[in-house]
A and B are shown apart, each in its own frame.
Chain A
Amino acid sequence: MPGGRVCAACGCSEIEVDAARGDAVCTGCGSVLEDNIIVSEVQFVENSGGGSSAVGQFVSLDGAGKTPTLGGGFHANLGKESRAQTLQNGKRQIHHLGNQLQLNQHCLDTAFNFFKMAVSKHLTRGRKMTHVIAACLYLVCRTEGTPHMLLDLSDLLQVNVYVLGKTFLLLARELCINAPAIDPCLYIPRFAHMLEFGDKNHEVSMTALRLLQRMKRDWMHTGRRPSGLCGAALLVAARMHDFRRTVKEVIRVVKVCESTLRKRLTEFEDTPTSQLTIDEFMKIDLEEECDPPSFTAGQKKLKIQQLEKALSKKLEDFEGEISSYQDEIEIELENSRPKAKGVFANFTKDDSIEDNTSSILGEEEAEDEELEAAANHLNKDFYNELHEKDRLKKSEDGEWKNGKEATVRPPALESLLGPLPTAASLGITESIKECISTKDREPGENTGDGELDLSGIDDSEIDRYILNETEAQIKAELWMKENADYLKEQKEKEARIAKEKELGIYKEHKPKKSAKKREPIQASTAGEAIEKMLEQKKISSKINYNVLRDLNSKGSNTPKKEDDSTDDSTNTKKLSRRKSIASRNIANPVNSVGKRLRPLISTQLAKKAATEEVTFQNAQAEAPDLEKPAAVLVESGPVAYNPDEEVEEEEIEEDDDHCMSALQLMGGN
């Protein structure tokens, strides 16, 4: 380094560097410029056996990280950078999962490589690590051709197979890896083994393979789960070799539904191959191929649809005739309305309904036959509701009945729909009206222009969409009834928030859902919080829960400070004498902060450490502040700012290590 350097004292540039001594000395004036130069030479030390070995440590290629701690790191991940941690974590999970699947080391390494690629392309972001790992493993299975299904992976992880599939597809696409298509033949040996055919295992497998190939040619296998096909093939093969395997057993092995299996069997039955005997099947291979079953099903559907169309056309013809009768009936009814019989007279009281019905009927009269038919289609439902069966009869009686039914229709609906007469009936009659009348306007509206202002849009129709006051009220009631649960929840929530606000503990909880993080422990007292935390974490069997509980019972509630301060001091004294770790944790952060700087305690505590030990009163004042930072650490605020502190300190020292670890754990919570 000091190649071009100049001596500071005399200005001469002749500087000698001695690597052995680690000095840089100026030859002119003799002043030492550098001392203890760090050199990069290899040094050797002598072994016990007499040989020499180089001095040094192995550093992993992956992590740049700091040098390992001299005391031995507690965690493997302590001090490494995030990327290395991720990779190591991933490696561990891959191995764990891969061993469960009985994958060999080569596959696991390949999977890890995929994972590394995924991480470098940031594909792990926003996705559960387990999903990405599973996708990498499955990718390996596919490329190697192992008989592992995505279903197996999802079974192991208890994750929805489609979710895994999505991740897998994304991974394959991003990494530009073409996973070869699944061949159901791959699964046969595996399933055959599970079905335990004993000596004939090989023969059954071969038969099943042949069956599968036949199925392929018959177009049964495209678009189907390979496992279903395997199941069907194996079942048939087993039967052919006189093994009685029930459908249930096969299903358990193959993991498809019973109906799927049956369906495959029926499809196979439909193929001509099924007609061959066993011997024939082994020898001959039919030339022709069949259509895929879904195709034939589609053809059937088309035929049925065509038939239906023809039928409906005929129906419409009939209905055209009926509608003309309907017109006549309604004209008559207009005249004969006041003669409506007593039973129905009640329903005709309401004027608004009357007006609507008359207007409806009036409109209907004006319409074409086609529209009438359409209206009848709609009205059919109402008629059915009213148990009207002879609507299609053309007899006079029938027509008269029809007529009556027409007037009765809106009021009767009223009764049917119970407590909501106006809104319901109006709503429905509106809809009929709208359907009928809009068909009339159809040609006009489609040629509307681009501007919003009313061109091509019928205002009156839109007006119909708007309910008036009474209707609005009724609808509001309806909605309230329906959504009662949700509204109740909201009210409770608000009440809770208001209460918390009063107590001054209200925190803004944002609706973040992180399933992995544990929910923040909410407790009114700190003692409660500790208990809950310990329940969750299950730190140590050495914690004396009885002591904890005592602490709770005697412990201070946060608002009361002065009274409890003395209690707490005695408590901690007692506890410290019992040497329970929990009390250490409680007492220590506050007590010993002054003496020892615990790095894991919140900064607020650390800041206050200096002043704590000085005065007792200060401590009391600070107690409320201390309470807030960490729910767990801080409880029993005004703890032991008392002359007993020094006594306790001695006892505390013994448990230093314990304290550290428990504290760490709590701090890391």
Chain B
Amino acid sequence: MDAESDVALDILITNVVCVFRTRCHLNLRKIALEGANVIYKRDVGKVLMKLRKPRITATIWSSGKVICTGATSEEEAKFGARRLARSLQKLGFQVIFTDFKVVNVLAVCNMPFEIRLPEFTKNNRPHASYEPELHPAVCYRIKTLRATLQIFSTGSITVTGPNVKAVASAVEQIYPFVFESRK
């Protein structure tokens, strides 16, 4: 982590995506009609329900699968998912809250120094790939953690991974490499 400096790096989690199942068939039309905060997309066959309290947008399919995005922490995601299930219950469906899983976590982190991207790419083949024509950041993939980091020349890093721990350890892993190629 901060092996080489004393500055604490704060990793800000910006988005947590999770899924769960209700194990029962949902009538989208009914949800759309009776929910005050829903958008019904009939052409793709799903309903978007937005909650305010944990700011969450959920995509609900008629098979009972629900994807929940917009939470800022794992707990919040679970909490929001439960509320969602509760509101579906109130609408009259026999909802069972099962198979809850956090699928993706997106976090942002800022390095106190800038980074030389071409140098970094050269030192870190094959994990790093840099195409300035396409995207201004270097895309670094860690297979073991299944995490992807996008490293910008200003020193800010965007990390996506399967859970918060993976994200944190990814940042820890990348720090020494990035430190080498700092400006």
Seen from chain A, the residues whose Cβ lies within 8 Å of a Cβ on chain B are 149-151, 161-162, 165, 168-169, 172-173, 176, 178, 181-182, 219, 222-227, 289, 291-292, 294-295, 298, 427, 430-431, 434-435, 438, 445-446, 448, 452, 454, 456-457, 459, 461-467, 471-472, 475-476, 479, 483, 486
Contact = CB atoms under 8 A, between A and B. Distances in A.
Contacts of A434: 52
B33 A459 contact: no
Contacts of B95: 452
A54 B6 CA distance: 81
A178 B126 contact: yes
B171 interface: no
Interface in B57-94: 75, 79, 82-83, 85-87, 89-91
B176 interface: no
A176 B126 contact: yes
Nearest to A229: B132
Q: Is the interface of A mostly helix, strand, loop or mixed?
A: helix
A445 B90 CA distance: 18
In this complex, the interface size class of chain B, counting residues with CB under 8 Å from chain A, is 35 or more
20 contacts: A165-B131, A169-B134, A181-B121, A182-B133, A223-B117, A223-B137, A224-B132, A289-B183, A292-B114, A294-B154, A298-B154, A435-B52, A438-B52, A452-B97, A456-B79, A456-B82, A465-B90, A466-B34, A466-B90, A472-B34
Nearest to A476: B33
B129 A226 contact: no
B53 A466 contact: no
Interface of B: 32-37, 40, 42-43, 52-53, 75, 79, 82-83, 85-87, 89-91, 95, 97, 114, 116-118, 121-122, 125-126, 129-134, 136-137, 152-156, 183
B153 A292 contact: yes
A466 B131 contact: no
A298 B130 CA distance: 22
Nearest to B92: A466
A291 B89 CA distance: 56
A464 B83 CA distance: 13
Contacts of A435: 52
A430 B52 CA distance: 12
Contacts of B121: 181
A173 B126 contact: yes
Given A292-B114, A483-B42, A464 B36 contact: yes
Nearest to B79: A448
A168 B153 CA distance: 23
A226 B133 contact: yes
Given A182-B133, A459-B86, 7 more contacts: A176-B126, A222-B118, A225-B132, A295-B155, A448-B79, A452-B89, A462-B86
Interface-central residue, B43, B82, B118, B152, by most chain A CB under 10 Å: B82
B180 to A, nearest CB: 16
Contacts of A182: 132-133
Given A165-B131, A224-B136, A466-B90, A430 B36 contact: yes
B81 to A, nearest CB: 10
Given A223-B136, A448-B79, A172 B129 contact: yes
A225 B131 CA distance: 9
Contacts of A459: 86, 90
A438 B91 CA distance: 21
A466 B35 contact: yes
A463 B90 CA distance: 7
A88 B52 CA distance: 59
Nearest to B33: A472
